[in-house]
Amino acid sequence: MPQSFREPIAKSPMLWIFIGRIIHSLQPVPMKPMNAPEHKPAATAPPGGHASAAARPLDAVADYYTQKLRRFGATPLGVDWPNRPNQALRFVQLLKLCDFSQPRTLNDVGCGYGALRALLSQRHRRARIDYRGTDVSEAMVAAARRRWRHRAGCAFEVAAGATRLADYCLASGIFNVKLDCPLPAWEALVARTLADLQRHSRLGWAVNFIVPPVPGQASPPELYRPPPEHWLAHLAQHQPGAEVTLLRGYGLHEYTLLVRPPAAAASQTLLNQ
């Protein structure tokens, strides 16, 4: 996700970047190390560009990522991440929730072109996983279906959330880009999404957020960067008894929440004894 919202925190030597055509008329483009935030304010939308996020936030988000896909194709840049290792590192944190020692069902909310399915194939080759990805962008779902059309136990749907009950629900980067949606409306949407993930997960769910800016650091208003305490308090109130694990310090300017419902958390405790 949001590579285009890049913040001026750390920059590496200038490199030439070629993505299908020469970008910016052969001007060198500054690149960042993998652990720096990948975000900068979005450019003015072209005619017929992003819908009003304030009125229809998910329509605007769908349009935003559809445009990224059209520009960069089914690549990390196409879902606004800078490169494959950066994208994969986020998936690895989310997958720390999952136990694939037996057959599992998994919902990938905000699946994009299905990059998580590729990582599962690489890192969990022997796992028996019934995978279903959902995304608000029709173009993303079409790309994912083309890419995985021959893969058994793999399906994609256009939807804002999970469409079935599964063992696990994972969502990577779906809250980061709010565009011009007012903060209260965006946080209400995040809260509804977390409740939806809980309802559609038997064993647990996981999400990630960008960390807040440090004091004195400018941050594009199009980004959503809550402190972890905000959503930890929300979960304590609205999902009491759940086991919540906070992951941070893994080399990216973000954090991950792993959430197990009370029954699943109790079972996990017994297994660990």
Backbone angles phi, psi at 36, to 5 degrees: -90, 150
Is a pLDDT exceeding 70 seen at residue 83? yes
The mean pLDDT of 244-265, rounded to a whole number, is 93
Predicted confidence band of residue 263 (pLDDT cuts 50, 70, 90): confident
CA distances from 81 to 34, 76, 193 (A): 10, 5, 22
Q: What is the band of 55 on the pLDDT scale with cuts at 50, 70, 90?
A: low
Higher-confidence residue of 239 and 45: namely 239
pTM flag (> 0.85)? no
Alpha carbon distance 96, 250 (integer Å): 13
> Long-range pairs for 46-51 at CB < 8 Å and ≥24 separation?
50/179
